[in-house]
Homo-oligomer: A and B are copies of this chain.
């Protein structure tokens, strides 16, 4: 089983990604898809007159400021537009996809960040009306019955909070916890960069391989959303996933090239087998 995270940035080749997913499934490799939707959420939010706002945590991680109206727009875009258009693309290739969000069947449980500390122009500010959450648990029942029946789950990054409320959660962390919960043998995180770059945005400085025990040191190279991808990768590796690949989702055969040619940044877990060495 492979978990594929399809990034929510601009420029991904969704047709090629869906073709690769169809190939894997034709080879009897089950796939679970998790996706984002940040770019489309920004566009729709602007058009609806509720432009996106972002907050930066004291540790420098950026996230979407999600008041209730933003949450409803986010739900609409990721669980409606992005999710259903992906399901449609997969169905056209005869993959029997089922689109879900973390709300559905309590698939992804999260904890609402009741108080968020944001840094703006060097000053700290407390935010209390944010519907962002931390992913806490993935419930395998629903996923497992779908997989057992030959369906391919496609998951939008919403979670359900302790009071049953919808939460905006990070898709990379959802993908990591889905991979861990289902015991996936690989997690492929596709985005609009080739992987982790030593000197962002110079794509010739791709870091091809990171030993799992050195992930934290490599955080210094991560810019913007790549920070969360490395956090997700670390969570997946600690949860027993053997291989996480941060790969380019823009070209042809993006998923197969990541899995077969290890095109991208590969993070090896040891998982009791001993990790292959990294040459870089």
Interface residues of A (CB under 8 A from B): 44, 47-49, 72, 75-81, 83-85, 87-88, 91-94, 96-101, 103-106, 141-142, 145-146, 149, 151, 158, 160, 163-166
Contact = CB atoms under 8 A, between A and B. Distances in A.
A207 to B, nearest CB: 36
A49 B85 CA distance: 21
Contact of A164 (B80, B92, B151, B163): B92
A164 B91 contact: yes
Contacts of A141: 149
A20 B72 CA distance: 24
A99 B88 contact: no
A151 to B, nearest CB: 5
Contacts of A151: 105, 142
A36 to B, nearest CB: 14
Contact of A78 (B80, B83, B149): B80
Contact of A81 (B80, B106, B163): B80
Given A145-B145, A149-B145, A79 B72 contact: no
30 contacts: A44-B48, A48-B48, A75-B81, A76-B77, A76-B84, A77-B80, A79-B80, A79-B99, A80-B81, A80-B83, A84-B103, A84-B166, A88-B164, A88-B165, A91-B106, A91-B160, A92-B164, A93-B164, A94-B164, A96-B105, A97-B104, A97-B105, A98-B105, A98-B142, A99-B101, A99-B104, A100-B100, A100-B104, A105-B151, A142-B149
